Amino acid sequence: MKYKRIFITHYGGPDELRIVEEECPEPKKGEVRVRVLAAGVSLPDVMMREGIHPETPRLPFTPGWDLVGAVDRLGDDVSGIQTGQIVAALPIFGAYTEYVCLPQSNLVHVPPGLNAAEAVSLILNYVTAYQMLHRTAKVKKGQKVLIHGAAGGVGTALLQLGRLAGLDMYGTCKSKDAGAVSDMGCIPIDYEHQDFVKEIQRLTGDGVDAVFESIGGSHIWLSRKTLRRGGKVVAFGLTGSLQGGRSTLGRQGSRQRYRAISNFGLYIALSWILPGRKRVVPYSIQWLMRLKPEFFRQDLMALFDLLKQQKIKPLIAQRFPLADARKAHELLGKGGVMGKIVLMCNGASIE
Ligand SMILES: NC(=O)c1ccc[n+]([C@@H]2O[C@H](COP(=O)([O-])OP(=O)(O)OC[C@H]3O[C@@H](n4cnc5c(N)ncnc54)[C@H](OP(=O)(O)O)[C@@H]3O)[C@@H](O)[C@H]2O)c1
């Protein structure tokens, strides 16, 4: 049986996303073959395509952090799972495909009745948001938080989960997204025309309890200035290393990849040395999943439950067929996308 997947043979722009047709892989011992229904498109995919994300695999590779699909075939020594069952996974790369073989231990059962595009939006974006709020920042009802990139994939997840947690939220976004961000219970700050440090001081008086910092570089230090004593900057992204969806770090390669994250280390260390108990702490979904796989499973299942109860509703910016992965990257790179872009595979509806 033939199947299609997206393939990258050189780091670079959206044109590097090519579709190939090959013989379908067979699951090995302990593996399950999944027929993918939906794969998420996110900035970490764009960073891997550019070759600047710390997790970037060796070339050639198939991108795609997260997927939802149906169990299609079982390898030897696999039990407790049936064909047709809907599952979710965060393989980190490899999700832009019609079929993929994954270890059974990497799969999380998706409760029946959930929409595949909404379910896939929970894996990378909502688990990131949930774990940063409840495991890293350990927020409490009534606390004040600042969310950078509030209109983006992770940003809108933070807004919905922050509202459920009873937080007072401030969020940076473009002026065109201010209305939508405000409707989600957050006071918008226009990052293009306002100084967010001054705005937070004006709006809160003594600063915020936590900042969710997705921009990276010296922006981390500006974010620290908005904290009240004892507050935390949770540093989790490098959005500032992209401009128009292309790398601003110059040549691709491991040296560039690690230069950006070494800045994290510097700010984390400085925040512990300087007075004021204003800490910078890192968050990484992949490292937490490697160290504590049970947290990833528990948190994703808690989020599926919230979706089932309609307490959260992921915003789907646009659905594309798998073959249009290039267009999906072009759209994300242009900016101004509200919510999550999803690739629909194997004929799953793009409506
Ligand atoms: N550490 C982890 O485990 C983890 C997990 C998931 C994601 N991430 C990181 O999280 C970040 C966001 O990912 P995403 O998928 O949510 O991306 P996204 O959907 O593209 O959202 C990014 C948002 O940031 C906004 N933005 C750009 N420059 C900004 C600035 N200077 N100030 C404030 N907002 C700005 C963008 O607005 P416009 O589009 O209007 O420009 C957009 O709304 C990325 O850096 C990604 O690598 C980290």
pLDDT in tens, 47-64: 999 998 989 999 999 999
Residue 308 tokens, joined: 């089932």
Ligand 1 nearest-atom number relative to CA 176: 40
**How high is the pLDDT of residue 98?**
98
Ligand 1 nearest-atom number relative to CA 125: 6
Distance 318 CA to ligand 1 centre (A): 17
Domain with CATH 3.40.50.720 in the chain: 121-287
Per residue in 116-149, pLDDT (tens digit) is 999 999 999 999 999 999 999 999 999 999 999 9
Instruction: State how far the Cα of 29 lies from the Cα of 103, in Å rounded to an integer.
Output: 9
Residue 302 tokens, joined: 């808690």
Residue 344's Cβ-count burial label (10 Å; 0-12, 13-18, 19+) is buried
**How high is the pLDDT of residue 242?**
78
Distance 215 CA to ligand 1 centre (A): 7
Residue numbers of the chain with a pLDDT score lower than 70: 250-260, 349-351
Distance 296 CA to ligand 1 centre (A): 21
Tokens 């290039």 found at? 326
What architecture is the 121-287 domain classified under in CATH?
3-Layer(aba) Sandwich (3.40)
Query: If you ran DSSP here, which 8-state letter would residue 205 be given?
Result: S
Q: Which helix (H) or strand (E) holds 100?
A: strand 99-103
CB atoms within 10 A of CB 40: 26
Domain with CATH 3.90.180.10 in the chain: 2-120+292-344
Residue 179 tokens, joined: 């209305």
**How high is the pLDDT of residue 253?**
56
**How high is the pLDDT of residue 238?**
82
In this structure, which topology does domain 2-120+292-344 adopt according to CATH? Quinone Oxidoreductase; Chain A, domain 1 (3.90.180)
**How high is the pLDDT of residue 252?**
56
CA 43 to chain centre: 7
**How high is the pLDDT of residue 79?**
96
Residues with CB under 6 A from ligand 1: 42-44, 47, 124, 128, 148-149, 151-155, 172, 174, 191, 214-215, 236-239, 283-285, 332, 335-337
Residue 127's Cβ-count burial label (10 Å; 0-12, 13-18, 19+) is buried
Distance 1 CA to ligand 1 centre (A): 38
Residue in 34, 171, 39 with CA at minimum distance from that of residue 93: 39
